[in-house]
Amino acid sequence: MKKLLEVENLNTWFHTSKGDLKAVRGVSFDLEYGESLGLVGESGCGKTTCALSIARLLPKEGRITGGKILLEGVDLAAMTEEEIRKKRWKDVSIVFQGAMNALNPVMKVGDQISEAIILHDKTSKEEAKRRTAEILELVEISAKRAENYPHEFSGGMKQRAMIAMALACNPKIVIGDEPTTALDVMVQAQILNLLNKIRKEYRMGFILITHDLSVLGEICDKIAVMYAGKIVEMGTVEDIFERTAHPYTKKLISCFPNIHGEKVIPEGIPGSPPNMLAIRPGCSFAPRCTEKQPCCEQSEPESRQIGAGHYAACHFVRGGEGR
C-alpha cells in the first residue's frame, strides 16, 4: 500500500528584492493514513511555508524550487495551477490560524461551508446543506447555527466552523496552522481533542504546526523540529522528549516549564535565528549552540538515523543513544 504523503527534499524559495530567501531547504518526511505529525520551531523557521507548499498555497513570490510532494504517489509539486485548483481541499485542506478573519463577515457560516462542498462535489444546494449540517454536528455546533453570521459565533465556535470547513470535502490530509493560537487554554484543549478524534475516526493524515511543544506531546505521533528551513530532528514523541538528540531540541524543551519539577525560570535560547537571506556555511544553529565545536562552523551536518525512525542533523549525535 502506498504511503499517504511523502515529501522528498522539498525546497521553497521566496523571491524578494534583496535576493532569494530560502525558506525551506531540503525537507523530507512522510505520513501514514491516520498519522499525525507535529511541526515545531521558532517563528520564521519555515513551518508554515512548508505546509503552504504541500497545500500549494504559496503567495506569488514563493516557488517550490525542488523536491517532490507525493500524495498517494502523485506529485503535487509538478501540477499546474489549474490542476491543483480542482484538487485543492479534496486532497489537502487547511485549518487557518486566525479563524476570526478567515470567515467572510457578510456571508452565513453554513453557506461558506456549503460553498466548499458545491465547488468540488457538484452536488445540489440541498445536498450540500444537509452535509454542512452533518459536519457542523460533528464539530459540536448545532446545525441550526448554519444560518448565523460569523459575528454571532464565539471565537472557539468560529475555529470549530473552520475545522468543519476543512473536513467538508473529506480530505486525505488536514493541516492545522497554529489552529489554536488565538484561543484561551480551555478552548484550545477542546479544539485539539476534537481534531485528534476526527483524525483517528476518518483515518486522515494530520499535520499540526505550532510553537507549543506540550500540545504536540499530547496529540501527535511524530514530531519534526525545524530550524532555519531544515528539519534538525525528527522522531516519535518519545524520541523527541525522552531521547533528545539535537542541541536545539534540548534547548527548545528546556524553554517549557515542567509542572512537576521545581520552580525554574526558563532560560530561553540566547541569540536569534539566522538571517535567511545570507545563510552561512556550516550548521545554521552553530552560533547559538552551547556544544559547538570548530567543525560546526565549516561543514553542514547531514541528517542521520540514530534510531528506528529517529533522525537528527548534528555532527555529534551517534546511533542509538543521543549524546
Positions touching another protein (CB under 8 A) are 55, 57, 85-90, 93-94, 96, 98, 101-108, 115-116, 119-120, 147-149, 152, 165, 168
Residue 308, classified by CB atoms within 10 Å of its CB into exposed (0-12), middle (13-18) or buried (19+), is: exposed
Cell (9 digits) for 158: 468560529
Which is nearer to another protein, 103 or 312 (by Cβ)? 103
Which is nearer to another protein, 42 or 115 (by Cβ)? 115
To another protein, the closest distance from the beta carbon of 71 in angstroms equals 15
Compute the distance between CA of residue 232 and CA of residue 245 in angstroms, rounded to an integer.
Answer: 10
What letter does residue 78 receive in the DSSP assignment? G
Residue closer to another protein, measured from CB, 170 or 303: 170
Distance CA 116, CA 134 (A): 14
Nearer to another protein, 177 or 233 (CB): 177
Distance of CA 63 to the CA centre of its chain: 18
Side-chain-facing half-sphere of 266: CA atoms under 13 Å: 13
Please, what is the minimum distance in Å from the beta carbon of residue 103 to another protein? 6
| CA angle in degrees (0–180, nearest 5) for 159-160-164 | 120
> Minimum CB separation from another protein for residue 151, in Å?
9
At 47 the three-state DSSP class reads helix
Least Cβ distance, residue 173 to another protein (angstroms) = 13
98 Rama class: left (phi>0) / alpha (psi -120 to 50) / beta = beta
Cell numbers linked to 209: 504546526
Taking the complex as a whole, the smallest distance from the CB of residue 221 to another protein amounts, in Å, to 25
Beta carbon nearer to another protein, 149 or 202: 149
Closer to another protein by CB, 89 or 285: give it: 89
71 within 8 A of 88, measured Cβ to Cβ: no
CB 37 to another protein: min, Å: 20
Query: With respect to another protein, which residue has the nearer C-beta, 102 or 194?
Result: 102
Q: How far is the CB of 36 from another protein (least distance, A)?
A: 20
> How open is the CA angle 251-260-308, to the nearest 5 degrees?
50
